[in-house]
Structure 1
Amino acid sequence: MEFETLELTVNGRVAVLSLNRPPMNPLNKKLFSELYEILEELENNDDIGAIIITGKGERAFAAGADISEMKELDAAGIARMNRISRKAFEKLENIGKPVIAAINGLALGGGCELALCCDFRICSENAKIALPEINLAIIPGGGGTQRLQRLIGQARAKELLYFGDMIKAQEAQAYGLVSKVVPLESLMDTALEWAAKLAEKPAVALKMMKTALHTGADTDLNNALTIETVCFGITFETEDRKEGMASFFEKRKPVYVGR
């Protein structure tokens, strides 16, 4: 697959998507459209078990939306752009495979919002994160006000959103915004290690786990437990469930087939 704004490489069962607009990797309509397209392909590829998203270069994961594209838009124009970005972000958030954001530098505005759609965020020590939209007299439009508070709590989210200041990787980890901070030279090795482990998990069970977590988070406990029960039941219909339990009793490593 050839794309203008994204670069795809495959390492075993791990797909690595690199935002390919260095040095700052700004997000534009073309990138959002290509991101949705490539995620559709990866979702239906049984040879891919996990996905990593990172930025080309060492300066930025993604330093926000492309202001040169946005600055002349009116409310109707930005609404059209937002429909494209929302479609891509929702596909990323809900794809039935684990996704890791390997944040290799600045993750600002839309770049932070993109990372928030991923299951895990691993940062290099030089990374800085911010939602600085308030300083442009706008607010986040790619889910930042909603996903951030669900992840780190409303009080911390208000602090980041209202002030719009950048925080360093270690502070982001303390907030619960990122899972791990590593030296820049170790970032991709760490992300690949995590992704490779995840790619070997039973695919249907992992998808059902993600479905139960995401869907249940947006409903009351009683309905969330019902969602969990349904997802639990689906896993019992799989070949991998039988293999997992058989390997447990036979004291051997399971061999999962993704069905």
Structure 2
Amino acid sequence: MSLAKPVLVEKVGRVAHVELNRPEALNALNKEMLLELSKQLRTLSIDDEIDIVLLKGKGKAFSSGGDIKTMLTSSDENDFYAIMDSISEVALTLYSMPKLTICAIKGAAAGLGLSIALACDYSIAAEDAKIAMNFIGIALIPDGGSHFFLERRIGEVKAKELIWEGKVLNAVEAFEKNLIHEVSQDLESSVSDKVQQWLNSPIQAMVKTKKILADMSRPQLQKILELEKHGQLKMRQTEDHAEGIKAFVEKRRPNFQGK
């Protein structure tokens, strides 16, 4: 078992670098990582020395999504609720924390990984990034507030289309669909430029606008997170989900029956 911290935090001046740290699993989000990410974000949200939170992934990917191995080994309903509550806390904190948040995407931002990116104020993806809202591939629904974030970004009709198709998009396609804010040939440089632009801006005024909009919409996000949690529990009990997981492990196309 790895003893490495699942989330690394480094403070550089007024910027907190928050790095998902399971590179061997493409930063797949398991219970330990979600609990630690939630804890670190809550701590940073009340840190008066920090104005910007930069979220990124160690290794080749931002995050490949929820950890499939966890789904295979965990049948404990209490464990499920603990994970879903942590997911909700991460989404709510990122959306409403009195800091400006940036997500730097390299490699995969898929499933829950994309949900977390959508919760950030600004996202920059490398040219070769792969973006996917692909819960449908294992017969699940999006969580992490994705129904809320997608509906606000692209509208109900396009949100359903994106969720139901579950396609893997390249960075340009994701930008054209308004899922990310910027595509970069040099991710590190582009992120640095954006951070510096914001550091040279009246951040407190920007944060106040964020707070007003978040306070207005937070109840709806909380409601959707609850609906996602209960909906996800039902989906995990379906035959299609069991088939989706089995097909994933066996590296074949699933044979869904609508059950």
TM-score range normalised by the length of the shorter chain: 0.7 to 0.9
**CA distance, structure 1, for counterparts of residue 55 and residue 124 of structure 2:** 10
Aligned to 2:88: 86
**CA distance, structure 1, for counterparts of residue 76 and residue 148 of structure 2:** 21
Structure 2: runs of 5 or more not aligned? 220-259
The structure-2 alpha-carbon separation of the partners of 1:201 and 1:41, relative to structure 1 and needing over 3 Å to count, comes to farther
The structure-2 alpha-carbon separation of the partners of 1:39 and 1:199, relative to structure 1 and needing over 3 Å to count, comes to farther
1:212 deviates by 1.9
State whether residues 14 and 192 of structure 1, in contact with CA within 8 Å, keep that contact through their aligned partners in structure 2.
no
1:38 deviates by 1.4
**CA distance, structure 2, for counterparts of residue 162 and residue 207 of structure 1:** 34
Return the letter of the residue paired with 1:53.
L
Aligned to 2:208: 208
1:197 deviates by 2.5
State whether residues 13 and 196 of structure 1, in contact with CA within 8 Å, keep that contact through their aligned partners in structure 2.
no
1:33 deviates by 1.4
Runs of 4+, deviation exceeding 6 Å: none
Aligned to 1:157: 159
Return the letter of the residue paired with 2:213.
L
State whether residues 107 and 128 of structure 2, in contact with CA within 8 Å, keep that contact through their aligned partners in structure 1.
yes
**CA distance, structure 1, for counterparts of residue 180 and residue 163 of structure 2:** 17
**What percentage of aligned pairs have identical amino acids?**
33
Return the letter of the residue paired with 1:78.
F
Deviations 1:10-59 (CA, angstroms, capped at 9, x unpaired): 3332111111100400011111111122122222222211111011113x
**CA distance, structure 2, for counterparts of residue 207 and residue 3 of structure 1:** 33
**CA distance, structure 1, for counterparts of residue 201 and residue 42 of structure 2:** 21
Residues 93-242 of structure 1 aligned to structure 2 (within 5 Å): 93-183=95-185, 186-217=186-217
1:75 deviates by 7.8
- Root-mean-square deviation over aligned CA pairs: 2.2
- With the length of structure 2 as denominator, give the TM-score of the two structures: 0.77
SS of the equivalent of 2:62 reads strand
Structure 1: runs of 5 or more not aligned? 220-259
Aligned to 1:61: 62
**CA distance, structure 1, for counterparts of residue 153 and residue 76 of structure 2:** 29
Residues 11-30 of structure 1 aligned to structure 2 (within 5 Å): 11-23=12-24, 24-30=26-32
State whether residues 8 and 17 of structure 1, in contact with CA within 8 Å, keep that contact through their aligned partners in structure 2.
yes
State whether residues 50 and 196 of structure 1, in contact with CA within 8 Å, keep that contact through their aligned partners in structure 2.
no
Q: How many residues align?
A: 216
The structure-2 alpha-carbon separation of the partners of 1:85 and 1:41, relative to structure 1 and needing over 3 Å to count, comes to same
State whether residues 65 and 109 of structure 1, in contact with CA within 8 Å, keep that contact through their aligned partners in structure 2.
yes
